[in-house]
Amino acid sequence: MRLFRPVSKTHPSSSSTISARMINCIILSILISLVYLLVSLSVPTLQSKDTIRAYFISAQDQAQSLTEIDHIVFGIGSSTKWWPTRREYVKLWWDARRMRGCVFVDRPLSSLENHTDSHLLPPICVSEDTSRFRYTWRGGDRNAIRIARSVLETVRMFNTSSEKVKWYVFGYDNTMFVPENLAKTLSKYDHTSWYYIGANSEIYHQNSKFGHDMAFGGGGFALSSSLANVLAKNFDSCIERYPHLYGGDSRIHACVLELGVGLTHEPGFHQQFDVKGNALGILASHSTRPLVSLHHVPHIDPIFPNSTTFTAFRHLFSAVEVDPLRILQLSVCYDRWYSWTISVSWGYTVQIEGRHLYLRDVLKTQETWKPSGGLASVYTFNTREVHPDPCQRPVTFFMEHVSSSPGDETIKSVYKQAYENCTYDPISSPRKLEEIRVFSTRLDPDIRQLKAPRRQCCDILPTSSTGGKVMEIGIRECKEDEFIYIHP
């Protein structure tokens, strides 16, 4: 009797079959786990690629949705009394080929008032009758109602246009806009949302009287088309509730508030020149935001020497044409050898202090204008006094001309000294300089940089062939970790 049966080579036992199946299952499980691991690792990569692709698509969409000048419609408040004397200022910034809008006057202009160069200016629109509205501000001007209703009349006129309107911008005939900077500034905002954008006065008393949260009409303000269209629907019934307010801008502010919308403050809109006299200090300390508008320009001293007020602003706009976003942008650098502090307000002035000033002190506005006294001399910005002796003040160089080189895209601006009859040390005093030459490239920040602006840096460039009479300065972007101070 055999105790053991011989093992057959062709018929495996059940135990060996089970072991083989277990091994196969283990191998299959490992393979499945490896595949799952590989897929899991690849998903974040795919998601990352999708995210990056979406980012660039979004960036392209953003670039395509930038506000252009032809997306803006202007409503300009004027009158037959003031338009003939102020039209030349409007002509400095208006481009009839690209801009849309209307100048609102109280009655039709005569043939003598309608000059042959009217094609260079906005069309004239006669405002609708406003005699049915009450006006109770004692000593005020009921034209304020007519000016306020220019919002309604402008929207009615253009909201059915085949060309897209993103923004409605309102100002007066003595408001000077920088259109390229206006369009760039409004590009930060979505016109399909409700926006009321502008700035208040630089005089504390004016803000207390009319509103710290109101866009002053002289500096101009912008309404997104979505807000303007809704505002226009019931605008007349709204302003009927406010006969006691002084200006048109106050009525517009009140009605915007009733829609639940507050002011978005943009310091590039300037009600400025509620001060009188020499505006050098205000202009030379402009913020890092683009210059959008200036107001009351006929009421100040000429901003360049040996000029009329009008020719001075025409001269300023010659620099605007070359590099609009850089106009009045302030860069500060230091001459370590002489301990000079040099501030470049591009397109306007270069000022040199014959001493070292910390940057925070340089940025304070010099009180070059005539203080009015009382609360009218309390300002909404930091100021520093001007020395009573002109020879102890900074040496000021005014812009002579600006030119650009198409080859290397370099922009050269030249500034000549405004001489004072002062005695000075011919070796160490900045008065020995006759001319400043500033070199830069066109400033063109993207939306991200506009939302978080940073002041640019400048350097004193070496010069050897000018006999010490000329200083050359270069303006550039600051390095990431660069501080603006006098280096030891």
Dump pLDDT digits (tens) for 109-161: 886 666 668 889 999 999 999 999 999 999 999 999 999 999 999 999 998 87
Whether 27 maps to a domain, the answer reads no
Strands 365-366 and 383-384, bridge-based pairing = parallel
Which strands make up the sheet holding 72-77, listed edge to edge? 124-126, 100-105, 72-77, 167-172, 221-224, 196-198, 264-265
Give yes or no: residues 273 and 366 share one domain: no
What's the rounded mean pLDDT across residues 56-75? 72
What pLDDT does 2 receive? Answer: 42
Lowest pLDDT segment from 42-46, 145-149, 249-253, 271-275: 42-46
The DSSP string of 376-404 is GG-BSS-EEPPPSSGGGSPEEEEEEEEEE
Give yes or no: residues 129 and 254 share one domain: yes
Domain boundary among 229, 249, 283: 283
Give yes or no: residues 334 and 275 share one domain: no
**Best CA proximity match to 261, nearest among 194, 199, 207, 211:** 194
Domain boundary among 250, 283, 316: 283
Whether 6 maps to a domain, the answer reads no
What pLDDT does 396 receive? Answer: 98
Give yes or no: residues 251 and 364 share one domain: no
Lowest pLDDT segment from 62-71, 123-132, 191-200, 265-274: 62-71
Lowest pLDDT segment from 57-71, 197-211, 369-383: 57-71
241 has pLDDT over 90: yes
Whether 23 maps to a domain, the answer reads no
> What is the Cα 207 distance to its own chain's centre?
21
466 has pLDDT over 50: yes
CB 438 within 8 A of CB 412: yes
Q: What is the pTM assigned to this prediction?
A: 0.85
Name the residue type at position 50: D
State the greatest distance between any 2 C-alpha atoms of the chain, in Å, as a whole number.
141
Whether 350 maps to a domain, the answer reads yes
The two structure tokens encoding residue 113: 């008032």
**Best CA proximity match to 148, nearest among 159, 133, 138, 137:** 133
Give yes or no: residues 126 and 274 share one domain: yes
Whether 248 maps to a domain, the answer reads yes
Instruction: Label residue 57 by pLDDT band (50, 70, 90).
Output: very low
Q: State percent of the chain over pLDDT 70.
A: 84
* C-alpha distance from residue 286 to each of 110, 283, 365 (Å): 40, 6, 9
Whether 12 maps to a domain, the answer reads no
Mean per-residue pLDDT of the chain: 88
Helix axes 225-233, 248-258, angle to 10 degrees: 90
Name the residue type at position 211: G
* C-alpha distance from residue 229 to each of 195, 225, 242, 401 (Å): 12, 6, 21, 43
C-alpha–C-alpha distance, residues 207 and 198, integer Å:
13
What's the rounded mean pLDDT across residues 98-107? 97
The C-alpha angle with vertex 223 and arms to 234 and 83, in degrees rounded to 5, equals 95
Give yes or no: residues 167 and 275 share one domain: yes
C-alpha–C-alpha distance, residues 415 and 437, integer Å:
6
47 has pLDDT over 50: no
User: 100: part of which helix (H) or strand (E)?
Assistant: strand 100-105
C-alpha–C-alpha distance, residues 380 and 201, integer Å:
8
**Per-residue model confidence as pLDDT tens digits over 183-213:** 999 999 999 999 999 999 888 888 888 999 9
Q: Domain of 128? A: 69-283
376 has pLDDT over 80: no
Give yes or no: residues 363 and 240 share one domain: no
Whether 20 maps to a domain, the answer reads no
Give yes or no: residues 168 and 260 share one domain: yes
Q: In a 3-state reduction of DSSP, which class is residue 474?
A: strand
Give yes or no: residues 236 and 367 share one domain: no
Give yes or no: residues 87 and 206 share one domain: yes
Give yes or no: residues 265 and 380 share one domain: no
473 has pLDDT over 70: yes
Give yes or no: residues 79 and 208 share one domain: yes
User: 251: part of which helix (H) or strand (E)?
Assistant: helix 248-258
Q: Exposed/middle/buried for 53, CB within 10 Å: 0-12, 13-18, 19+?
A: exposed
What pLDDT does 207 receive? Answer: 87
What pLDDT does 110 receive? Answer: 83
Domain boundary among 227, 254, 283: 283
Q: State percent of the chain over pLDDT 90.
A: 72
CATH of the domain at 156: 3.90.550.50
Whether 48 maps to a domain, the answer reads no
CB 328 within 8 A of CB 282: no
Total structural domains within the chain? 2
Lowest pLDDT segment from 37-51, 110-124, 265-279, 393-407: 37-51
The two structure tokens encoding residue 137: 């501000």
What pLDDT does 61 receive? Answer: 44
